[in-house]
Amino acid sequence: MKPYANLPPLPSRISRLGKLAFDLWWSWHEEAREVFRRLDYPLWRLTAHNPVRMLRMVSRERLEQAARDPSFLNVYDAAIKALDRALTAKESWWIRRFPHLPMGPIAYFSAEFALHQSLPIYAGGLGVLAGDHCKEASDLGLPLIGVGFMYPQGYFHQRMSSEGWQEEVYEQLNWDHAPIERAVTKEGKPCIISVPVGNRSVLVSVWCVRLGQVKLYLLDTSMEENAPSDRELSARLYGGDRETRVQQEIILGVGGVLALRALGSNPVVWHLNEGHAAFVVLQRIREALEREESFEEAIEEVRSSTVFTTHTPVPAGHDTFPFHLVEAHLAAYLGSLGQYRDDFLALGHYDNGGGPMFNMTALALRTAGAINGVSQIHERVTREMWAPIWPGLPESERPVKALNNGIHISTWIAPDISRLLEKHLGKEWRDRHEESEFWGEIFKIPDEELWAVRQALRRYLIAFIRERARQRWTQEQVSAARVLTAGTLLDPAALTIGFARRFTGYKRPELIFHDPERLARILNAPRRPVQIVFAGKAHPVDDMGKHHLQSVYKRAIDPTFGGRIAFVDDYDLHVAHFLVQGCDVWLNTPRKPFEASGTSGMKASVNGVLHLSSGDGWWAEGYTGSNGWLIDGGVMTGEPAAVDAADAEALYRLLEEEVVPTFYDRDVDEVPRRWLRMVKEAIRTVTPRFSTRRMVKQYAEWMYASAVNKAVAK
């Protein structure tokens, strides 16, 4: 395999830059990021940290120069050595923990993966979780293989009209700029599979992304041999109608299994991240029937080796299809099931009140042997919500566990914070970050140093926001109003609140504007200014979400708020990094109990950005009383308007009486001691509990290992 063959030639002394660029392992290792940053800093910024693209653009002279520069070579050699060590590690947590388990792979299926902004195959939280899961699996040495989609147009880019209406721009990905390679079969040929959809076959080519020890395989239908409509099937994430969607899900589920087979992989555990990939089950039942097993035996086999994670209590978040669509597009498979055709269709049968539909979550719930929700509240809600799946079983016996989400610490922690931790807690903080006791050490960090870092992170954020506004103005000629709303009047020293997430009703993006005059007083207070930075996309067909967005935009140009409200467009991983590291406060106002988890608050907390949130999702467990604030209006039931009014009141009181005074309470050295005490508490309490280190270990111990054992026992 010659994956980097079409990169321009590199000087031999630094020839492995190509390998480093094509292994996203670099993205969560500071020593490797440093290589590219030093290679060409303007290009590093221009490409939004995309080494593959950089290597195509960087000048030959610069490469030659770097190959002779001892200080560059030091950094380069260290990074290459670290990569080699990571790739050949014989010792890992997984091997130590389960020395007797065979190394059968764990297949992890997800419709989206957020790994890096240079690979735009994600929309939001679900993708970030999947990406973080894979990175952690690599760190821990799990034999995990990811399976997902290579969307040539990805998810949309967001632009705002001068009226504040969201415009969706789809850009064709330049494949030469993405860290992907063609996957090859055991025989050394490009991996291309044929997936029966309806009464035709769709060709799917398979791409590979390297993440240290883990590989992720991405399915792509944009092949010339396919009909134009089939080529479009994998074009966009969540872009099409129901009919497109069911076909996409057949490609992901059925095609994913076929791809793994073609690659010579025989997973012993199949983890379905959300219901989108539940057709995996269909292909596996079919394979079992071909081995002359009965339907019951086939289901038993699937159940003993399938893990399912459900992610949302919002009904629209679960895929359902009319039976006729499923029957039409699965015709080839259903035919081959013979007498069991109806048994299979019954596995997805679910009536949510609007008549029976084929429900992907129901299919997964009925065929997985291990099922989890992503927080305690979400576990309870899932048991209630899906009660008909387990007729006659009392709630306490319905087989849904809570396994909390986490974030990949090395991906999300700011380098400035990690340097501070290294200095005062020692280099081992990374290896020990899930040990709660270890974090007592955080109080060793002098307030002055921590404050200097927190201030610097806020300055980076504001510089980033202004630079983006400048670019939009000079390169895209957006209106002056748009330049203003993009954050040009932000103050690098003011208390900065971040609110960044998908714009949708239950997240209540407008809650903080409930009483605009009161908010204006808080923002414009003399000597204690407060500013709010918003970011987030609305789903392309969610007009309500777009209206929320437009309202926020109108607040941003309203002089009442003095330019202290900003909207940063095109929220993605890159923007998210600046926001969760650079704000002072992270605001989240979901209506209970619709936020299953909410991982952005975890990212903020580990960076010492204090979480100010209603007690839903992870925060119901994460809030300790001293590591942030809980918005609780005390009204649980009744009219949503009454709940909102009470929550808004609670939010204002917290801002007026606690958040603002604590932030601006400075001693003679201008240091906010009480604030920093909370910052340390946030880092101390959240990092160990809400990391993917803890999360992936739990998946391994509670779910994967027992499935592997069952597979071995057979």
Ligand X SMILES: *Cc1c(COP(=O)(O)O)cnc(C)c1O
* Least distance (Å) between residue 125 CB and ligand X: 3
Binders of ligand X in range 492-521 (CB under 6 A): 501
What value does the CA radius of gyration of the chain take, rounded to a whole number of Å? 25
What is the rounded distance in angstroms from the CA atom of residue 634 to the CA atom of residue 48? 44
Helix axis angle for 360-367 and 280-290, nearest 10°, is 50
Segment near ligand X (CB under 6 A); pick from 20-28, 249-257, 289-297, 597-605: 597-605
Binding test (CB under 6 A) with ligand X, winner from 105, 152, 598, 608: 598
* Least distance (Å) between residue 193 CB and ligand X: 31
Q: Which is nearer to ligand X, 18 or 593 (CB)?
A: 593
Binding test (CB under 6 A) with ligand X, winner from 138, 550, 599, 662: 599
* Least distance (Å) between residue 476 CB and ligand X: 22
Q: Which is nearer to ligand X, 277 or 576 (CB)?
A: 576
Binders of ligand X in range 690-709 (CB under 6 A): none
Binders of ligand X in range 540-579 (CB under 6 A): 571-573, 576
What is the rounded distance in angstroms from the CA atom of residue 563 to the CA atom of residue 376? 40
- Residue keyed to tokens 């026992």: 713
Establish if 600 lies at the interface with ligand X (CB under 6 A): yes
- Residue keyed to tokens 């895929």: 319
Query: Quick one: three-class SS letters along 637-658?
Result: CCCHHHHHHHHHHHHHHHHHHH
* Least distance (Å) between residue 571 CB and ligand X: 6
Segment near ligand X (CB under 6 A); pick from 162-170, 459-467, 484-492, 600-608: 600-608
Helix or strand (DSSP H, E) at 195? strand 192-197
Q: Which is nearer to ligand X, 210 or 577 (CB)?
A: 577
Q: Which amino acid is at 535?
A: A
Q: Which is nearer to ligand X, 256 or 601 (CB)?
A: 601
* Least distance (Å) between residue 521 CB and ligand X: 28
What is the rounded distance in angstroms from the CA atom of residue 74 to the CA atom of residue 412? 26
Query: Quick one: three-class SS letters along 19-77?
Result: HHHCEHHHHHCHHHHHHHHHHCHHHHHHCCCCHHHHHHHCCHHHHHHHHHCHHHHHHHH
* Least distance (Å) between residue 623 CB and ligand X: 15
What is the rounded distance in angstroms from the CA atom of residue 640 to the CA atom of residue 138? 44
**Binding residues with ligand X: total (CB under 6 A):** 13
Binders of ligand X in range 115-144 (CB under 6 A): 124-125, 128
What is the rounded distance in angstroms from the CA atom of residue 677 to the CA atom of residue 443? 8
Q: Which is nearer to ligand X, 202 or 596 (CB)?
A: 596
Segment near ligand X (CB under 6 A); pick from 43-51, 186-194, 595-603, 645-653: 595-603
What is the rounded distance in angstroms from the CA atom of residue 598 to the CA atom of residue 125? 8
Q: Which is nearer to ligand X, 357 or 576 (CB)?
A: 576
Q: Which is nearer to ligand X, 105 or 601 (CB)?
A: 601
| Strand 214-220 to 144-149 pairing | parallel
* Least distance (Å) between residue 237 CB and ligand X: 13
Binders of ligand X in range 602-641 (CB under 6 A): 603
Q: How is residue 327 annotated by DSSP?
A: H
Q: Which is nearer to ligand X, 505 or 562 (CB)?
A: 505
Contacts of 581 (CB under 8 A, 6+ apart): 414, 417, 457, 460, 461, 607, 609
Q: Longest Cα pair distance anywhere in the chain, in angstroms?
A: 81
Q: Which is nearer to ligand X, 238 or 571 (CB)?
A: 571
* Helix (H/G/I), strand (E/B), else coil: 330: coil
Site track 192-231 with ligand X (rule: CB under 6 A), x = hit: ----------------------------------------
* Residue 215 near residue 145, CB atoms below 8 Å: yes
* Least distance (Å) between residue 152 CB and ligand X: 20
* Least distance (Å) between residue 438 CB and ligand X: 25
Q: Which is nearer to ligand X, 128 or 585 (CB)?
A: 128
Segment near ligand X (CB under 6 A); pick from 16-24, 249-257, 596-604, 695-703: 596-604
* Residue 362 near residue 326, CB atoms below 8 Å: no
* Least distance (Å) between residue 250 CB and ligand X: 27
What is the rounded distance in angstroms from the CA atom of residue 486 to the CA atom of residue 533? 9
* Least distance (Å) between residue 609 CB and ligand X: 12
Q: Which is nearer to ligand X, 128 or 298 (CB)?
A: 128
Q: Which is nearer to ligand X, 359 or 405 (CB)?
A: 405
Helix or strand (DSSP H, E) at 167? strand 166-169
Q: What are the start-end ranges of the E strands in 412-544? A: 495-500, 530-535
Helix axis angle for 295-304 and 280-290, nearest 10°, is 130
* Least distance (Å) between residue 599 CB and ligand X: 5
What is the rounded distance in angstroms from the CA atom of residue 417 to the CA atom of residue 453? 7
* Residue 32 near residue 20, CB atoms below 8 Å: yes
Could you list the residues that contact ligand X (CB under 6 A)? Answer: 124-125, 128, 501, 571-573, 576, 598-601, 603
